[in-house]
Amino acid sequence: MTLLAGIVLLAGNIAAQRLLAGARLDFTEGKLYTLSDATRVTLRDLAEPVEITYVYSRRVGQDYPAIQAHAARVRELLATYAAASGGNVRVREIDPKPFSEAEDEALAAGISAIPASGNDPLYFGIIGRNAIDDLRLIPFLAPERETTLEYDLTRMIARLDNPEPPRVGIISSLPGMKALDGESGYVVLQDIGRSFSVEQIPDDFGSLPEMDVLLVAHPGTLTARQEWLIDQFILRQGRAIFVVDPAAKTALSGAMFSATDSLARSSLGRLGAVWGVELAPQAVADAANALTVPVESFTGRVDEVAHPLFVGVPAETMSRNDPITADLMRVVNFGAPGALIQGSLPEGVILAPLITTGPSPSFIDPARAARDMAADEVLQSYMTEAAPLVMAARLSGRLPSAFPNGAPAMDEPSDASDLEAAKAEAASLPPHIAASETPAEVVMIADADFLADDFYVVPGSGMVVADNGALLLNAIDALAGRGELSRLRSRAASLRPMVRIETMRDAAETQYFRQQSELEARLSTAQARLSELQSSASGDGFFAGDPEAELTADERAELSTLREDILTIRASLRDIERDYRRDIDALEATLKAINIWGGPLLVTLAGILVWRRQAKKRRGAA
């Protein structure tokens, strides 16, 4: 009988492994091991298998607890991918020990070798390959990017399944956004060209090419017909990025003063009015996030001055829930930016802020802001707003057309010989539609200067010091994928902080440092006065053996009081240092007591209840 039970148990385990291989029960608060719908759709629609090679130096990683915990998280998530893919995602792990074939494979693929505390480097990345050996990489799995881990993996797999680079069309009046192959092109434009297929759209366009994402970067004056073409693209494709600015400083380089208004300003036009989002007519200054800029004084000396029109927004204040900004690690620098003002949004449409100013921004006249307005002039004009202003946002949902009466009249070409070609081009356009066929994802950024190299690239060295380029590339990357991928949520962090303890620690630190500062200030003053009295008393005259005898009665009393105060202050500082962790230590002791004694007590109580119940039954039976 025992043998038969063992055989049944063994057979049941084997059957469960086969039948329930992909089954998961996720009891974590943030559903860390539950894939999003976007990922499941991506895995379901894979045309061919994808091989994922997980590269991790186990021995080196053990020296870094954060890396080791993140490595386990990655391993478990990859196992979930493999289980959910039905065999289309094949995962293997290699440990690149020094001078091994695994290390050669990691280096050949481009995985970063990170210097560690010992002699051996740390390898921690992912190599992805498809059936035709196309390769995609995550060179280093930084623990700080854990919230975007699922997005990064799903994007990699989607790109391996469809290796053709997404197509990006660019409409811009900025010279730096037009010279893709020239030396005058912005660094961010060259970066876009390396990752995407770029289509430069001429200023006089009468149609739009086939593309996945439309980038409208500080456009010139658009005709009604051109706005209609953009409107129809968004209603059909739903993927666009608008970079607009009320005071674009970089657009004025080399321009005449009389051309300021036309060159420096761009807007969302009639599209924004229908969407319920418009660009404020004034520029924005932000004293809280003001960047320091070199300013030459009248004496010829160059000083570093905080300038509120040059705004550096810290990464931690940006949206941590959107893949566009969730993985940014550095500031994004803006120059005389604008603000996006929300009006009445169409039904079902959501405007989600990505980047906002500090708590007390101010509107500034755009004509003055576009020119060389000094920092003190900005402060003189500063009129604090009641709340932060939105500088970048994502608009999501089904949008109505900005042209309810249909397509406007065709623009007449300047050359009569082109009239027939223009008519043929117009005849080939698809018919007008009045509302979105595809839910729109429109990213809006209220500054054009952030694209310029001067705002984030060190001249000569090419060193990037801010995440300006990463912001635009992330936006294109998020929108260029499948519809599901662009809406993929960021994962919750697996490391859950002890919120109550953190709150107690913050409160204790606030009180501790305030009291400590006050006491240390008193102590410093008292010691300075004590030194002054002792110095004046240290004579070499008749009372040389008793220096305090040279002091007056009031000075001797003050000296005695100072000594007592110093001793009292030192004791108070020791008390504060002791009390700093009092509440935290008490909570820690309580938790330890619960963890150590809670289980045994519960078992004991359960045992007593069972014993009493059985004893009661025995007495009843007797």
CATH 3.40.47.10 fits domain 32-160: no
Q: What is the pTM of this model?
A: 0.62
Tokens at 138, concatenated = 């995550």
In this prediction, residue 100 carries a pLDDT of 93
Q: Is the dihedral of CA 470, 474, 477, 480 positive or negative?
A: negative
pLDDT in tens, 342-394: 999 999 999 999 999 999 999 999 999 998 888 989 999 999 999 999 999 99
132 pLDDT exceeds 90? no
Three-state DSSP class for residue 585: helix
pLDDT given for residue 543 in this prediction: 39
Q: What is the mean pLDDT of the chain?
A: 82
User: Which pLDDT band, with edges at 50, 70 and 90, does 101 fall under?
Assistant: very high
Round to whole Å and give the CA distance between 408 and 226.
Answer: 9
The mean pLDDT of 464-468, rounded to a whole number, is 89
pLDDT in tens, 553-562: 776 777 677 7
Alpha helices for 239-374 (secondary structure H): 260-264, 269-275, 323-326, 366-370
pLDDT band at residue 330 using 50, 70 and 90 as cut-offs: confident
For 164-411+426-486, CATH gives 3.40.50
Q: What is the domain partition of the chain in residue ranges?
A: 32-160, 164-411+426-486, 499-580
**Alpha-carbon span 335 to 309, nearest angstrom:** 6
Q: What's the pLDDT band for 216 if we cut at 50, 70, 90?
A: very high
The percentage of residues in the chain with a pLDDT greater than 90, rounded to a whole number, is 43
DSSP 338: -
Average pLDDT over residues 526-537: 66
C-alpha–C-alpha distance, residues 140 and 108, integer Å:
15
Q: What is the token pair recorded at 102?
A: 């695994």
Across residues 481-507, what is the average pLDDT? 56
Q: Are 149 and 156 in contact (CB under 8 A)?
A: no
pLDDT for the residue numbered 364: 96
Q: Which two tokens stand for residue 82?
A: 């493999």
Question: How large is the average pLDDT for residues 2-17?
Answer: 68
Q: Is the per-residue pLDDT at 489 higher than 50?
A: no
Per the document, the length of the chain is 622
Residue located via tokens 């509107």 = 363
Give pLDDT, residue 569. Answer: 73
